[in-house]
Amino acid sequence: MNIVLIGFMGSGKSTLGIKLSYRMKQPYLDTDKYIERKTGRTITEIFETDGESAFRQMETDALSALLEEGIKDHVIATGGGMPVKLENHELLKRLGVVVWLRIRPETVIERLSSDKNRPLLQREDRETVIRQLMDERNEAYAKCADVIVDVDDKKVERIMDEVFTKSAGVRKRKKRMRYE
Ligand code: S3P
For residues 85-113, give the mean pLDDT.
97
The model's pLDDT over 11-63, given as tens digits with 9 standing for 90+, comes to 999 999 999 999 999 999 999 999 999 999 999 999 999 999 999 999 999 99
DSSP output for the chain: -EEEEE-STTS-HHHHHHHHHHHHT--EEEHHHHHHHHHTS-HHHHHHHH-HHHHHHHHHHHHHHHHHHT--S-EEE--TTGGGSHHHHHHHHHHEEEEEEE--HHHHHHHTTT--S-GGG-STTHHHHHHHHHHHHHHHHHHH-SEEEE-TT--HHHHHHHHHHHHHHHHHHHHHHHH-
Nearest CA to ligand 1 atom 3: 79
Å from CA of 78 to ligand 1 middle: 8
The pTM assigned to this predicted structure is 0.96
Å from CA of 117 to ligand 1 middle: 9
Measured from the Cα of 10, ligand 1's closest atom is: 16
Domain around 20: 2-179
The model's pLDDT over 124-172, given as tens digits with 9 standing for 90+, comes to 999 999 999 999 999 999 999 999 999 999 999 999 999 999 998 888 8
- The per-residue pLDDT of the chain, averaged, comes to 95
Per-residue model confidence (pLDDT) at position 175 = 76
Measured from the Cα of 13, ligand 1's closest atom is: 15
Share of the chain above pLDDT 70, in %: 99
Number of domains the chain is built from: 1
CATH number of the domain encompassing residue 59: 3.40.50.300
- In this predicted structure, the answer to whether residue 180 has a pLDDT above a threshold of 70 is no
